[in-house]
Amino acid sequence: MTLSAIIIDDEQLARDELKYLLDQAGGVEVVAQGTNGIEAVELIEEHHPDLVFLDVQMPGLDGFAVIKRLMERRGKKPPADGADAEPLPQIVFATAYDQYAVRAFDVNAVDYLLKPFDRNRVLQALERVRGRMAGGTSSAAGARPDSQIDALLKLLNRPHGSSRSPQPAKLIVQAQSRLLLIDQADICYAAIDEGVIRVATQTFEGHSKCRTLEELLELLDPAVFWRAHRGYVVNLNHIREVVPWFKSSYQLRMDDKRQSEIPVSRAQTRRLRELFNL
């Protein structure tokens, strides 16, 4: 049986490498490729593939958020004529960082590949996919009862808690051709724009090697850093002024050299009021 597959990865070289290995393996037709989590959801809904190779770290939605979004969509669409809910495709996560392995299997991924891809591991993953499909087991949510879907959504949303690795005291920020080690306390805010994370301190600006704000937040102290907006993370200790804005919204004026103004999303307005007793 030929498997239909989709490759989702923001790196062209990684997509090309995996496509080549799948072509060499045979029995797999790559029906589409995407570069981010938003495209992943759309392509999966459009093509209904047997298998998705899904990068963990991507701009916008990461791989785990893609699973969550797909499950939520299925939960909002009642099956027609009493039929079972449409199952998710088999999921094989791919990333350069093995720290995500445990969480990948928490969401019941069929396998997990490290970059650069190894031919034998790709073949092994395909064998596991075929074994699951032969046994009638779908990946992630599939046709689980609603209670199990709810439990898995809670798993995807859970904080890392005690299993979270201690945050490093210093972070690497690239400023032009230099890689600088800076104290977390010196970071005023971080912002993401077109997949690039800009980090501002009181004296300079640079770029983080992290691909998403979620990844950056994993390295930062949650007691100090707050995601005020989907595109911004701020250091609470570097907020200079809370500025009332349009229609009961707010902006934060930071104490960096530009006195940057950071928007607070409506979803975070309540948290802002709690933080500063507004």
Question: How does pLDDT run across 191-219, given as a tens digit for each residue?
Answer: 998 889 999 999 999 999 888 888 898 88
The tokens for 75 are 């939960």
Please indicate, yes or no, whether residues 154 and 208 belong to a single structural domain of this protein.
no
Query: What pLDDT was estimated at residue 42?
Result: 94
Please indicate, yes or no, whether residues 112 and 191 belong to a single structural domain of this protein.
no
CB 242 within 8 A of CB 252: yes
For 6, 31, 57, 253, the CA distances from 257, given in Å and listed in that order, are 45, 49, 31, 11
Query: What pLDDT was estimated at residue 266?
Result: 84
Please indicate, yes or no, whether residues 37 and 143 belong to a single structural domain of this protein.
yes
Query: What pLDDT was estimated at residue 143?
Result: 39
CB 91 within 8 A of CB 54: yes
Please indicate, yes or no, whether residues 197 and 146 belong to a single structural domain of this protein.
no
CATH number of the domain residue 258 falls in: 2.40.50.1020
Helix/strand/coil for 272: helix
Query: What pLDDT was estimated at residue 106?
Result: 58
Residues in the chain where the model's pLDDT stays below 70: 75-85, 97-108, 136-168
Query: What pLDDT was estimated at residue 245?
Result: 82
Torsion of CA 119, 29, 212, 161, to 10 degrees: -70
Number of domains observed in the structure of the chain:
2
Query: What pLDDT was estimated at residue 117?
Result: 85
Query: What pLDDT was estimated at residue 41?
Result: 93
The tokens for 230 are 């989907």
Q: What does pTM read for this prediction?
A: 0.52
Query: What pLDDT was estimated at residue 23?
Result: 95
Helix/strand/coil for 174: strand
> What is the number of other CB atoms lying within 10 angstroms of the CB of residue 62?
23
Is residue 23 in a domain?
yes
Is residue 42 in a domain?
yes
Query: What pLDDT was estimated at residue 137?
Result: 61
In degrees, to the nearest 5, what angle opens at C-alpha 267 toward C-alphas 262 and 272?
A: 60
Is residue 219 in a domain?
yes
Question: Where in the sequence is the domain holding 40, given as residue range(s)?
Answer: 3-159
Please indicate, yes or no, whether residues 65 and 201 belong to a single structural domain of this protein.
no
* DSSP class per residue in 177-234: TEEEEEEGGGEEEEEEETTEEEEEESS-EEEES-SSHHHHHHHS-TTTEEEEETTEEE
Is residue 167 in a domain?
no
- Chain centroid to Cα 159, Å, comes to 14
| Residue indicated by tokens 């104290």 | 183
Query: What pLDDT was estimated at residue 226?
Result: 92
CATH number of the domain residue 118 falls in: 3.40.50.2300
Please indicate, yes or no, whether residues 16 and 126 belong to a single structural domain of this protein.
yes
Please indicate, yes or no, whether residues 178 and 100 belong to a single structural domain of this protein.
no
